[in-house]
Chains A and B, each alone.
Chain A
Amino acid sequence: MSIGHALLGLLEGGPRHGYDLKRSYDERFGQDRPLAYGQVYSTLARLLKNGLVEVESEPGAGPERKKYAITDAGVSDVGGWLARPEKPEPYLQSTLYTKVVLALLTGHDANDVLDTQRSAHLRLMRDLTRRKAGGDLADQLICDHALFHLEADLRWLELTAARLQQLAAQVRA
Protein backbone atom coordinates (compact mmCIF):
# COMPACT_ATOMS: atom_id res chain seq x y z
CA MET A 1 0.00 0.00 0.00
CA SER A 2 1.19 3.48 -0.78
CA ILE A 3 1.71 6.11 1.91
CA GLY A 4 1.46 8.72 -0.85
CA HIS A 5 -2.10 7.71 -1.65
CA ALA A 6 -3.02 7.75 2.01
CA LEU A 7 -1.66 11.26 2.46
CA LEU A 8 -3.42 12.45 -0.69
CA GLY A 9 -6.68 11.00 0.64
CA LEU A 10 -6.22 12.86 3.92
CA LEU A 11 -5.54 16.11 2.05
CA GLU A 12 -8.86 15.81 0.22
CA GLY A 13 -10.50 17.02 3.41
CA GLY A 14 -8.58 20.33 3.15
CA PRO A 15 -5.04 21.77 3.21
CA ARG A 16 -2.85 20.76 6.15
CA HIS A 17 0.54 21.21 7.67
CA GLY A 18 2.96 18.29 7.38
CA TYR A 19 2.88 17.73 11.12
CA ASP A 20 -0.96 17.52 11.14
CA LEU A 21 -0.85 15.08 8.27
CA LYS A 22 1.45 12.71 10.16
CA ARG A 23 -0.83 12.82 13.22
CA SER A 24 -4.00 12.10 11.22
CA TYR A 25 -2.28 9.26 9.41
CA ASP A 26 -1.06 7.74 12.66
CA GLU A 27 -4.48 8.07 14.22
CA ARG A 28 -6.19 6.26 11.41
CA PHE A 29 -3.70 3.86 9.88
CA GLY A 30 -0.58 3.95 12.01
CA GLN A 31 -1.27 1.54 14.86
CA ASP A 32 1.25 -0.95 13.60
CA ARG A 33 3.87 1.47 12.34
CA PRO A 34 3.69 5.20 13.07
CA LEU A 35 5.17 7.28 10.27
CA ALA A 36 8.52 8.91 10.73
CA TYR A 37 8.67 12.63 9.92
CA GLY A 38 11.22 11.89 7.27
CA GLN A 39 8.84 9.52 5.52
CA VAL A 40 6.10 12.15 5.51
CA TYR A 41 8.27 14.91 4.09
CA SER A 42 9.99 12.78 1.50
CA THR A 43 6.64 11.47 0.33
CA LEU A 44 5.17 14.95 0.18
CA ALA A 45 8.21 16.11 -1.77
CA ARG A 46 7.63 13.35 -4.33
CA LEU A 47 3.93 14.23 -4.61
CA LEU A 48 4.90 17.89 -5.06
CA LYS A 49 7.30 16.94 -7.79
CA ASN A 50 4.61 14.94 -9.57
CA GLY A 51 2.19 17.85 -9.35
CA LEU A 52 -0.30 16.01 -7.17
CA VAL A 53 -0.03 18.51 -4.31
CA GLU A 54 0.88 22.18 -4.09
CA VAL A 55 2.19 24.33 -1.31
CA GLU A 56 0.26 27.21 0.11
CA SER A 57 2.54 29.66 1.85
CA GLU A 58 1.17 31.50 4.82
CA PRO A 59 2.26 35.10 4.90
CA GLY A 60 4.69 35.84 7.71
CA ALA A 61 5.14 32.23 8.63
CA GLY A 62 8.41 30.45 9.22
CA PRO A 63 9.87 27.85 6.88
CA GLU A 64 8.09 25.00 8.75
CA ARG A 65 4.70 26.54 8.45
CA LYS A 66 4.06 25.24 4.93
CA LYS A 67 0.56 24.06 4.19
CA TYR A 68 0.02 21.32 1.60
CA ALA A 69 -3.07 21.23 -0.60
CA ILE A 70 -4.18 18.61 -3.07
CA THR A 71 -4.25 19.48 -6.80
CA ASP A 72 -6.87 18.38 -9.33
CA ALA A 73 -4.35 15.86 -10.63
CA GLY A 74 -3.96 14.61 -7.10
CA VAL A 75 -7.73 14.20 -6.68
CA SER A 76 -8.01 12.13 -9.85
CA ASP A 77 -4.96 10.11 -8.82
CA VAL A 78 -6.60 9.18 -5.51
CA GLY A 79 -9.80 8.33 -7.37
CA GLY A 80 -7.90 6.06 -9.73
CA TRP A 81 -6.09 4.36 -6.86
CA LEU A 82 -9.29 3.68 -4.99
CA ALA A 83 -10.87 2.19 -8.08
CA ARG A 84 -7.90 -0.11 -8.78
CA PRO A 85 -7.99 -3.56 -7.13
CA GLU A 86 -4.98 -4.40 -4.97
CA LYS A 87 -2.84 -7.16 -6.19
CA PRO A 88 -3.65 -10.16 -4.02
CA GLU A 89 -0.59 -10.99 -1.97
CA PRO A 90 0.25 -14.54 -1.01
CA TYR A 91 0.91 -13.47 2.59
CA LEU A 92 2.18 -16.42 4.62
CA GLN A 93 1.04 -19.30 2.53
CA SER A 94 4.20 -19.60 0.52
CA THR A 95 6.33 -19.92 3.63
CA LEU A 96 3.93 -22.26 5.37
CA TYR A 97 3.47 -24.30 2.25
CA THR A 98 7.20 -24.82 2.14
CA LYS A 99 7.26 -25.80 5.81
CA VAL A 100 4.42 -28.28 5.51
CA VAL A 101 5.81 -29.95 2.44
CA LEU A 102 9.20 -30.16 4.09
CA ALA A 103 7.64 -31.66 7.23
CA LEU A 104 5.96 -34.28 5.13
CA LEU A 105 9.09 -35.07 3.16
CA THR A 106 11.25 -35.37 6.28
CA GLY A 107 8.68 -37.54 8.14
CA HIS A 108 7.67 -34.93 10.73
CA ASP A 109 4.04 -34.73 11.84
CA ALA A 110 2.51 -32.05 9.65
CA ASN A 111 -0.26 -31.65 12.25
CA ASP A 112 2.35 -30.43 14.72
CA VAL A 113 3.47 -27.78 12.31
CA LEU A 114 -0.13 -26.75 11.86
CA ASP A 115 -0.97 -26.81 15.57
CA THR A 116 2.08 -24.69 16.36
CA GLN A 117 1.19 -22.25 13.65
CA ARG A 118 -2.43 -22.15 14.77
CA SER A 119 -1.38 -21.43 18.28
CA ALA A 120 0.76 -18.53 17.13
CA HIS A 121 -1.98 -17.24 14.90
CA LEU A 122 -4.57 -17.43 17.65
CA ARG A 123 -2.25 -15.62 20.02
CA LEU A 124 -2.08 -12.73 17.59
CA MET A 125 -5.80 -12.92 16.90
CA ARG A 126 -6.54 -12.70 20.63
CA ASP A 127 -4.46 -9.56 20.89
CA LEU A 128 -6.25 -8.06 17.95
CA THR A 129 -9.64 -9.04 19.35
CA ARG A 130 -8.78 -7.50 22.68
CA ARG A 131 -7.54 -4.32 21.02
CA LYS A 132 -10.65 -4.20 18.93
CA ALA A 133 -12.77 -4.25 22.07
CA GLY A 134 -11.03 -1.16 23.45
CA GLY A 135 -10.69 0.79 20.20
CA ASP A 136 -12.79 3.03 18.06
CA LEU A 137 -14.29 2.24 14.67
CA ALA A 138 -11.02 2.69 12.82
CA ASP A 139 -9.29 0.31 15.22
CA GLN A 140 -12.03 -2.21 14.72
CA LEU A 141 -11.82 -2.02 10.94
CA ILE A 142 -8.09 -2.46 10.94
CA CYS A 143 -8.16 -5.27 13.48
CA ASP A 144 -10.96 -7.02 11.61
CA HIS A 145 -8.95 -6.79 8.43
CA ALA A 146 -6.04 -8.48 10.09
CA LEU A 147 -8.28 -10.99 11.83
CA PHE A 148 -9.95 -12.06 8.61
CA HIS A 149 -6.58 -12.54 6.98
CA LEU A 150 -5.30 -14.56 9.88
CA GLU A 151 -8.46 -16.59 9.88
CA ALA A 152 -8.03 -17.27 6.19
CA ASP A 153 -4.55 -18.55 6.95
CA LEU A 154 -5.89 -20.83 9.64
CA ARG A 155 -8.64 -22.14 7.43
CA TRP A 156 -6.10 -22.94 4.81
CA LEU A 157 -4.11 -24.68 7.52
CA GLU A 158 -7.10 -26.76 8.58
CA LEU A 159 -7.85 -27.71 5.02
CA THR A 160 -4.26 -28.60 4.38
CA ALA A 161 -4.13 -30.65 7.56
CA ALA A 162 -7.18 -32.61 6.49
CA ARG A 163 -5.77 -33.14 2.99
CA LEU A 164 -2.37 -34.06 4.35
CA GLN A 165 -3.88 -36.97 6.16
CA GLN A 166 -5.44 -38.21 2.94
CA LEU A 167 -2.18 -37.56 1.17
CA ALA A 168 -0.13 -39.32 3.80
CA ALA A 169 -2.49 -42.27 3.67
CA GLN A 170 -2.08 -42.38 -0.09
CA VAL A 171 1.70 -42.10 0.18
CA ARG A 172 1.90 -44.88 2.72
CA ALA A 173 -0.63 -47.07 0.96
Chain B
Amino acid sequence: MPGISREEVAHLAKLARLELKGEELDHFAGQLDDIIGAVAAVSDVADEDVPPTSHPLPLTNVMRPDEVRPSLTAQQALSGAPAQEQQRFKVPQILGEEA
Protein backbone atom coordinates (compact mmCIF):
# COMPACT_ATOMS: atom_id res chain seq x y z
CA MET B 1 0.00 0.00 0.00
CA PRO B 2 1.67 3.25 -1.07
CA GLY B 3 -0.35 5.72 0.96
CA ILE B 4 0.45 9.13 2.34
CA SER B 5 0.41 10.06 5.99
CA ARG B 6 -1.14 13.11 7.58
CA GLU B 7 2.39 14.24 8.57
CA GLU B 8 3.57 14.01 4.97
CA VAL B 9 0.63 16.12 3.83
CA ALA B 10 1.46 18.69 6.51
CA HIS B 11 5.08 18.75 5.31
CA LEU B 12 4.04 19.17 1.69
CA ALA B 13 1.68 21.96 2.67
CA LYS B 14 4.54 23.72 4.40
CA LEU B 15 6.76 23.37 1.31
CA ALA B 16 3.91 24.72 -0.81
CA ARG B 17 3.40 27.57 1.63
CA LEU B 18 -0.20 26.51 2.23
CA GLU B 19 -1.81 27.04 5.59
CA LEU B 20 -4.04 24.06 6.30
CA LYS B 21 -6.29 23.56 9.31
CA GLY B 22 -6.34 20.26 11.18
CA GLU B 23 -9.54 19.02 9.56
CA GLU B 24 -8.23 20.02 6.12
CA LEU B 25 -5.14 17.92 6.70
CA ASP B 26 -7.31 14.94 7.52
CA HIS B 27 -9.50 15.61 4.51
CA PHE B 28 -6.62 15.99 2.02
CA ALA B 29 -4.64 13.08 3.46
CA GLY B 30 -7.61 10.84 2.73
CA GLN B 31 -8.14 12.23 -0.77
CA LEU B 32 -4.47 12.12 -1.72
CA ASP B 33 -4.20 8.60 -0.40
CA ASP B 34 -7.03 7.56 -2.74
CA ILE B 35 -5.37 9.28 -5.71
CA ILE B 36 -1.99 7.73 -5.04
CA GLY B 37 -3.66 4.36 -4.71
CA ALA B 38 -5.37 4.81 -8.06
CA VAL B 39 -2.16 5.84 -9.79
CA ALA B 40 -0.29 2.97 -8.17
CA ALA B 41 -2.71 0.58 -9.82
CA VAL B 42 -0.99 1.45 -13.11
CA SER B 43 2.22 -0.10 -11.79
CA ASP B 44 0.40 -3.36 -11.26
CA VAL B 45 -0.39 -3.74 -14.94
CA ALA B 46 2.89 -2.25 -16.27
CA ASP B 47 5.41 -5.05 -16.47
CA GLU B 48 9.15 -4.69 -16.94
CA ASP B 49 8.68 -4.36 -20.69
CA VAL B 50 6.96 -0.98 -20.16
CA PRO B 51 9.62 1.62 -19.36
CA PRO B 52 8.72 4.67 -17.26
CA THR B 53 8.07 7.65 -19.49
CA SER B 54 8.01 11.38 -18.89
CA HIS B 55 6.73 12.43 -22.32
CA PRO B 56 4.02 10.93 -24.50
CA LEU B 57 5.88 11.45 -27.80
CA PRO B 58 9.12 9.72 -28.81
CA LEU B 59 10.86 13.01 -29.63
CA THR B 60 14.35 14.24 -28.81
CA ASN B 61 16.37 17.38 -29.56
CA VAL B 62 13.56 19.82 -30.16
CA MET B 63 15.46 23.08 -30.02
CA ARG B 64 15.03 26.63 -31.22
CA PRO B 65 17.66 28.94 -32.71
CA ASP B 66 19.05 31.63 -30.39
CA GLU B 67 16.99 34.42 -31.95
CA VAL B 68 15.20 37.12 -30.03
CA ARG B 69 11.43 37.11 -30.28
CA PRO B 70 9.16 39.88 -29.06
CA SER B 71 8.45 39.88 -25.34
CA LEU B 72 5.32 41.13 -23.63
CA THR B 73 5.30 44.79 -22.70
CA ALA B 74 5.80 45.45 -19.00
CA GLN B 75 2.17 46.62 -18.85
CA GLN B 76 0.97 43.33 -20.34
CA ALA B 77 3.25 41.33 -18.07
CA LEU B 78 1.95 43.10 -14.98
CA SER B 79 -1.69 43.14 -16.04
CA GLY B 80 -2.53 40.06 -14.01
CA ALA B 81 -0.48 40.95 -10.95
CA PRO B 82 -2.48 41.44 -7.75
CA ALA B 83 -0.15 44.30 -6.82
CA GLN B 84 2.62 46.22 -8.51
CA GLU B 85 5.02 49.04 -7.75
CA GLN B 86 7.78 50.66 -9.83
CA GLN B 87 6.88 48.44 -12.80
CA ARG B 88 7.63 45.40 -10.67
CA PHE B 89 5.55 42.61 -9.18
CA LYS B 90 4.85 43.48 -5.56
CA VAL B 91 4.90 40.54 -3.16
CA PRO B 92 4.24 40.40 0.59
CA GLN B 93 7.00 40.37 3.13
CA ILE B 94 9.14 37.26 2.74
CA LEU B 95 9.19 35.96 6.29
CA GLY B 96 11.67 33.67 7.92
CA GLU B 97 13.49 32.91 4.69
CA GLU B 98 16.67 33.99 3.05
CA ALA B 99 17.34 35.05 -0.49
Interaction A to B: no
